[in-house]
Amino acid sequence: MKIVVLDGYSLNPGDLSWDALKSLGEVKIYDRTPDDLIIQRAEGAEILLTNKTILTSDIIGRLPNLKYIGVLATGFNVVDAEYARQKDIIVTNVPAYSTMSVAQHTFALILEFYNYPGKFSEEIGKGRWSTNPDFCYWEKPLNELAGKTIGIIGFGRIGRAVARIASAFEMNVTVNEVSEVAGYRNCSLEDLLRESDIVTLHCPLTPETKGMINISRLRIMKPSALLVNCARGPLIVESDLADALNKGMIAGAALDVLSEEPPRPDNPLLKAKNCIITPHVAWATFEARQRLMEIAVDNVKSFLEAKPVNVVN
């Protein structure tokens, strides 16, 4: 069984082992694969693993031996899963591996906005504290999370984990769900945006959610509000958010994802006021990647045993 990994570096930059996968067949692993080499590298493969390398219907159609595509992530929009189904090619993903890592990163971003330890440390390294006349200093308010309202849009595994952490901080948790969620206040999207001190996105990217955070909805939010996105970049109209930040419409944004990754140098959010950006790493703790590797290999094993799991098509 020929197995090809098209872009394994982000999952395993060297601190994990591919041995379990290698025990299942003839394995070739590439750190990254440019578009013009996908067909060449995937030729003859029966099993293809991809993280962000896009597999279109044209590419899939030119790989006659292909029987299985494993996505090394939860989101599987990089694969034309419907076309693969028509060709009797199974597509799987890796769900629920990064729940606590993403929830943790969500609060890392929130705390950087509320307490800005990173900014302090950078200033102190440049001598700011050493030359200060007092034993401490701050230039903008330091605020407690206790008593603040956090609005969670998307209440799956990650949204629920964020809610539990928020409750430990003694925050008020508001959700926007079709049905009532026990223990939390449920309200309309507009009311959530209007009332929340922090709005955090944890919903999937669908035609309905794409661009859901736009200028009209940003206008609803409090001028003191923080917008957090550790879900998908295209949930936000980036030019609208940059405009809202630069005009002080909201107080800040903390983002782990953008609509294009890596971003173009002219992405307006890169220079927007009060915008914290991390490079799509909420999922990437060692523990989460270890789980991802284990589940991805188990997916392949189950397929080889004719008992496929985590099938998305």
Name the band, by pLDDT with cuts 50, 70 and 90, for residue 151. very high
Residue 188 tokens, joined? 């309309």
Place of tokens 């992530």: 73
pLDDT in tens, 47-98: 999 999 999 999 999 999 999 999 999 999 999 999 999 999 999 999 999 9
Cα angle 7-8-11, degrees, rounded to a multiple of 5: 125
Residue 14 tokens, joined? 């060297």
pLDDT for res 157: 95
Name the band, by pLDDT with cuts 50, 70 and 90, for residue 182. confident
Is pLDDT of 179 > 90?
Answer: no
Alpha-carbon distance of 120 to 98, in angstroms, equals 29
Is pLDDT of 253 > 90?
Answer: yes
Q: What is the DSSP string of 287-303?
A: HHHHHHHHHHHHHHHHH
Domain 2-95+286-304: give its CATH architecture.
3-Layer(aba) Sandwich (3.40)
Domain boundaries defined on the chain: 2-95+286-304, 99-277
pLDDT for res 181: 87
CATH, domain range 99-277:
3.40.50.720
Maximum distance among all Cα pairs of the chain, rounded to whole angstroms: 72
Residue 181 tokens, joined? 């969620």
Q: Choose, from 232, 238, 289, 291, the residue flagged as catalytic.
A: 232
DSSP 265: T
Whether 180 sits among the annotated catalytic residues: the reply is no
* Domains 2-95+286-304 and 99-277 fall in the same CATH topology: yes
Judge contact between 54 and 78, C-beta under 8 A. yes
pLDDT above 70 covers a percentage of the chain that reads 100
Cross-strand pairs, 91: 69
pLDDT for res 117: 96
Angle 99-115/157-168 helices, nearest 10 degrees? 40
Judge contact between 12 and 286, C-beta under 8 A. no
Q: Choose, from 202, 280, 289, 291, the residue flagged as catalytic.
A: 280
Is pLDDT of 180 > 90?
Answer: no
Judge contact between 42 and 64, C-beta under 8 A. no
pLDDT for res 281: 98
Whether 261 sits among the annotated catalytic residues: the reply is yes
The average pLDDT across 34-45 equals 98
Q: In what order do the strands lie in the sheet with 185-186?
A: 185-186, 172-175, 149-153, 198-201, 226-229, 252-255, 275-277
Whether 202 sits among the annotated catalytic residues: the reply is no
Q: Choose, from 82, 144, 260, 261, the residue flagged as catalytic.
A: 261
pLDDT in tens, 265-304: 999 999 999 999 999 999 999 999 999 999 999 999 999 9
